[in-house]
Amino acid sequence: IEVTEVELLSHKARYSCLRPSPLVCPNQSLVEEINIIRRSRHLEGEERSMLSYSRAISVIKAYPRIITQRDLHDLHELPFLGEKLYSMIQEFVKTGRIAEAQTILADSRFQSLSAFDTIYGIGPHTARRLYDLGLRTLEELEQYYEVIPGASNEETISLLEESTNTEAAVEKTIKIGLALRHDLSHTIPRPEVEEINRTVMQELSHIQKGCKSVIAGGYRRGKPQSNDVDIVITHADWELGSQKVKGLCKKLVQRLHEQGLVTHVMHISGFHEHNALRTHHWDSLEKALTVFAWPHNSSWPRVYRRVDLIFAAPEVFWTAVVGWTGSTMFERDLRLWAKQQKGMKFDSSGISRRHDSKLYYPRTERDVFKVLGLVHVHPTMRNA
């Protein structure tokens, strides 16, 4: 692995993968206030505006101390804080509030769209479409989709169908999301995330011995509670592992379904080799976005949990882990950094050099950063 010159970490860096960002930052209440405005832009489909708020938020997340009057002129040295953001921060420092955020919070359209957006399968576009039909509350949504609250709709499973983005498939997902909304709105504490991982790996060992996993996502960034469980899986054998993980995703989901653990499969992919030009390492990852009924074999009332299973060949395992650890902004800037500064392509299924498509196979997470010419950032500092 050739290493180019390494950029130093700094809270003033333009790429968030160079700015260590803790889960909870010194200016957390400011971040949450600006995040209301960001969410509103997102819900209204104003993606460019949303992205500039996301960037501003991630810059503030890396700022090392509480912003007071005295720090204000310092902020001019930070990237992505334009005049508008600057005056918002000024307002917040003075009053502890941002008026625009408070106005948004009180807005009934924002409240409806926010509520709709919490449903798995409903994004901003669909939320606005439903609002335009005159729907305002989740109860009205349930009536519209003829969903019986609390009923699990397990018969709506389309287990192991290669998912399509047809209107019917989207509607099916929304119906499941609505039916399970009370369970799925509960976040998952760390010990339970770990237990789900153990159970998955236990079941997997009956199909293929020698596999290993890393729990990625927000859990890995240190979140005490997660919205879902993201598990990245590979085989421990560097030489032969690639063949051993092939097709495992489908087999595992099948088995978990037979055990009564997986009740719904929202999306399953990565089984076709669409692109003849791809080497086998570049197959997109096999993944299944599922719902578990949890815990199984127990007299406790079961709850539904969202669990994502991602399979990677050993050569791209750590790349996949980095790609699935997040945050979304950290990932965005990893891709951007690779492309703009290194002439490389990074995503969760692999790293390559653009001019000759040379592939990189990092053996550790540190190697992923090394290949990209980056200082290693601890997972708990990737909350950009």
**Is 223 an interacting residue with respect to ligand DCP (CB under 6 A)?**
yes
Closest separation between CB of residue 195 and ligand DCP, Å?
A: 16
**Is 20 an interacting residue with respect to ligand DCP (CB under 6 A)?**
no
Q: Whose Cβ is closer to ligand DCP: residue 128's or residue 220's?
A: 220
Residue of the chain from 177, 241, 270, 326 that contacts ligand DCP (CB under 6 A): 326
- With 0-12 / 13-18 / 19 or more C-beta atoms within 10 angstroms meaning exposed / middle / buried, residue 30 is buried
SS3 category, 270: coil
Residue whose tokens read 């509520």: 115
Is the Cβ–Cβ distance between 345 and 336 less than 8 Å? no
Q: Whose Cβ is closer to Mg ion: residue 230's or residue 367's?
A: 230
Residue of the chain from 228, 283, 286, 367 that contacts Mg ion (CB under 5 A): 228
Closest separation between CB of residue 309 and Mg ion, Å?
A: 12
- The dihedrals phi and psi of 322, each to the nearest 5 degrees, come to -60, -40
Closest separation between CB of residue 27 and ligand DCP, Å?
A: 20
d(CA 228, CA 305): 7
Residue 225: strand pairing partners: 189
Q: Which does 197 bind (CB under 5 to 8 A by kind): ligand DCP, Mg ion, none?
A: none
Scanning residues 252 to 311, which ones bind ligand DCP (CB under 6 A)?
none
Residue of the chain from 218, 270, 314, 379 that contacts ligand DCP (CB under 6 A): 218
Q: Which does 362 bind (CB under 5 to 8 A by kind): Mg ion, ligand DCP, none?
A: none
Structure tokens at 195: 């237990």
d(CA 377, CA 369): 8
Q: Whose Cβ is closer to ligand DCP: residue 263's or residue 348's?
A: 348
**Is 234 an interacting residue with respect to ligand DCP (CB under 6 A)?**
no
**Is 217 an interacting residue with respect to Mg ion (CB under 5 A)?**
yes
Q: Whose Cβ is closer to Mg ion: residue 112's or residue 290's?
A: 290
The helix (run of H) or strand (run of E) holding residue 225 is: strand 225-226
Find the part of the chain contacting ligand DCP (CB under 6 A) among 200-208, 224-232, 258-266, 333-341: 224-232
Residue of the chain from 60, 104, 230, 248 that contacts Mg ion (CB under 5 A): 230
Q: Whose Cβ is closer to ligand DCP: residue 225's or residue 364's?
A: 225
Residue of the chain from 33, 283, 331, 367 that contacts ligand DCP (CB under 6 A): 331
Long-range pairs of 237-245 with CB within 8 A, sequence gap ≥ 24: 237/210, 237/314, 238/314, 238/315, 238/363, 241/210, 241/313, 241/314, 242/280, 242/281, 242/313, 242/314, 242/315, 244/208, 244/210, 244/211, 245/208, 245/211, 245/286, 245/311, 245/312, 245/313, 245/314
Is the Cβ–Cβ distance between 318 and 365 less than 8 Å? yes
**Is 315 an interacting residue with respect to Mg ion (CB under 5 A)?**
no
Largest CA distance in the chain: 62
* Count of positions on this chain that bind Mg ion (CB under 5 A): 4
The helix (run of H) or strand (run of E) holding residue 108 is: helix 108-117
Residues that bind ligand DCP (CB under 6 A): 217-218, 223, 226-228, 230, 323-324, 326-328, 331, 348
Contact residues for Mg ion (CB under 5 A)? 217-218, 228, 230
